[in-house]
Amino acid sequence: QVQLVESGGGLVQAGGSLRLSCAASGGIGSIYTMGWYRQAPGKQRELVATITSGGPTNYADSVKGRFTISRDNAKSTVYLQMNSLKPEDTAVYYCNAYLPIAPRVAYWGQGTQVTVSS
């Protein structure tokens, strides 16, 4: 069974920084596309950032220039460095792993709470 274990969430003041980590186990390797999603109260879950096995990244417009996604394939871990945090960044953040070849399965972490105070 594949597992994604997230850590690093917490409370931070506006303008501060936080680093989220997601450790993968159960056979996930460098071939997976990794991503971070978030869901705020009363809102739909939205894409924050993705990173492919080869390195290219994509970001939501709302976080460009502030967040950085990275991965350490040797450690099977993906990170989300969040700088210049805003109150609107408050949400539960979820780690995602996607296999881009058959059977194209996806896995989700349990989520970690990020709260940004004004």
Report mean pLDDT in 10-residue bins for the chain, 118 residues.
Answer: 92 98 83 95 96 94 98 92 98 96 94 97
Q: What is the pLDDT of residue 33?
A: 94
Residue 39's pLDDT is 98
Distance of alpha carbon 118 from alpha carbon 116, whole angstroms = 7
Question: Which residues are paired to 112 by β-bridges?
Answer: 93
Instruction: Report the distance separating Cα 90 and Cα 108, nearest Å.
Output: 19
Instruction: Give the pLDDT score at 31.
Output: 86
- CB neighbours of 34 closer than 8 A, spacing ≥ 6? 22, 50, 51, 69, 71, 78, 95, 96, 97, 98
To the nearest 10°, report the CA torsion of 31, 33, 34, 36: 180
